[in-house]
Amino acid sequence: NAGVMQNPRHLVRRRGQEARLRCSPMKGHSHVYWYRQLPEEGLKFMVYLQKENIIDESGMPKERFSAEFPKEGPSILRIQQVVRGDSAAYFCASSPSSDGEQYFGPGTRLTVT
C-alpha cells in the first residue's frame, strides 16, 4: 500500500506564473489536509477536503489560492500569480476518517524566483 504521494517534489516558478501541486492520498483515504511550512516557521493548516467537498478552508489566503479533491484523481492545490512570499514547503496528509490518524506526503517545495 503506497503512502501519500505528492508531485512534483520541487517546483520553481517565476513571479506571476501558476503553481499546481498534486496530492494522491493513501488507498481508501477520502480525507485530505493541506499544510504550509514557510521558511523558518512552523506548519500551518490551509484546507481540509473530503471527496468533492471543501470542509474547512479557514487557513487559505483569500486570493490566488484554491483547492479541489475531485471524485477521480488527486487533490490539487492551485496558486495563481505566485509571489515570492509563496515560497514554502507544502505538505498534504490523508486520513481514512475525519478524526483518524493523518499520514503525510513528502511535500512539494515551491520556489518562486
Partner 1 sequence: KNEVEQSPQNLTAQEGEFITINCSYSVGISALHWLQQHPGGGIVSLFMLSSGKKKHGRLIATINIQEKHSSLHITASHPRDSAVYICAVRLNAGGTSYGKLTFGQGTILTVHP
- The Cα–Cα gap between 64 and 84 comes to 13
Pairing of strands 10-13, 108-112: parallel
> Which range touches partner 1 (CB under 8 A), out of 16-24, 36-44, 60-68, 78-86?
36-44
Among the listed residues 13, 21, 25, 31, the single contact to partner 1 using CB under 8 A = 31
Of 94 and 112, the one with the shorter C-beta distance to partner 1 is 94
Contact status, residue 23 vs residue 75, Cβ threshold 8 Å = yes
For residue 25, state whether it binds partner 1 (rule: CB under 8 A): no
Contact status, residue 5 vs residue 105, Cβ threshold 8 Å = yes
Going by the DSSP 8-state scheme, the letter that residue 25 receives in this structure is: P
Tell me the per-residue interface mask from 66 to 95 with partner 1, x by CB under 8 A, - otherwise.
-------------------------x-x-x
Q: Which of 107, 109, 111, 101 is nearest to 31 (CA)?
A: 101
Among the listed residues 80, 83, 100, 113, the single contact to partner 1 using CB under 8 A = 100
Interface positions with partner 1 (CB under 8 A): 31, 33, 35, 42-45, 48, 55-56, 91, 93, 95, 98-107
